[in-house]
């Protein structure tokens, strides 16, 4: 499966937008700075998010990014899928034809990965940016400039 740092960066960038980008355009530069990711790399990531429709853009000077959907419609699952592709751990799960072994036990183990896959998807799909933002706001209460983890 793929749960890369890239999709983590994507989530952090999107979350940054939800928290700090209400009703205004954010540049990649700002988002990258706010999440401590290299601007060039974040740009590449946002390019992918754009293609998936998860962010909207305005080009040129004074341009920037906004969320492509309401915060409560953007789930962690959508972000991961946009960046890392389907949430499937083993290729054999995705396309059955790659299951070349004749051992029938493979079919059983296949169910195992499907169950795991479903668990991941379910967990990822029920967390929205809105929820995470709320959690963030709550945590920040009375601890604005801590920078403590």
Binding site for a copy of itself (CB under 8 A): 1, 3, 5, 8, 11-12, 15-16, 19, 34-37, 76, 89-92, 96, 99-113, 115-116, 118-120, 122-124, 127, 132, 135-136, 139-140, 146-147, 149
Question: Three-state SS for 136?
Answer: helix
Structure tokens at 23: 């009703």
- Tell me which of DNA, a copy of itself, none is bound by residue 59, counting a contact when its beta carbon lies within the kind-specific cut-off of 5 to 8 angstroms: DNA
What is the sign of the dihedral through the CA atoms of 23, 82, 89 and 94?
Answer: positive
Q: What is the DSSP letter of 148?
A: -
Nearer to DNA, 32 or 129 (CB): 32
Cβ 35 vs Cβ 46: under 8 Å: no
The site partner of 29 among a copy of itself, DNA, none (C-beta below 5 to 8 Å per kind) is DNA
Q: Closer to DNA at the Cβ: 16 or 46?
A: 46
Residues of span 54-93 touching DNA by CB under 7 A: 57-65, 84
Interacting partner of 109 out of a copy of itself, DNA, none (Cβ under 5 to 8 A depending on kind): a copy of itself
Cβ contacts of 20 within 8 Å, gap of 6 or more: 26, 34
Is the separation of the CB atoms in 70 and 22 below 8 Å? no
Instruction: Calculate the alpha carbon distances from 11 to 81, 91, 102, 107 in Å.
Output: 11, 24, 40, 34
The answer to whether 119 contacts DNA (rule: CB under 7 A) is no
Contacts with DNA by CB under 7 A lie at 2, 4-6, 9, 26-29, 37-38, 40-41, 43-44, 46-47, 50-51, 57-65, 84
């Amino acid at each position: 499966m793929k749960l890369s740092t890239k999709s983590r960066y994507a989530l952090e960038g999107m979350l940054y937008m939800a928290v700090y980008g209400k009703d205004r355009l954010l540049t990649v530069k700002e988002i990258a700075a706010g999440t401590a990711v290299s601007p060039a790399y974040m740009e590449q990531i946002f390019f992918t998010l754009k293609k998936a429709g998860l962010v909207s853009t305005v080009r040129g000077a004074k341009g920037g990014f906004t969320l492509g959907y309401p915060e409560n419609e953007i789930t962690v699952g959508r972000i991961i899928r946009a960046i890392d592709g389907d949430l499937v751990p083993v290729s054999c799960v995705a396309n059955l034809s790659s299951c070349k072994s004749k051992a029938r036990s493979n079919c059983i183990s296949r169910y195992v990965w499907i169950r795991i896959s479903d668990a991941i998807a379910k967990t990822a799909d029920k967390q929205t940016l809105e929820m995470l933002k709320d959690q963030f706001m709550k945590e920040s209460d009375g601890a604005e400039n801590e920078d403590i983890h």
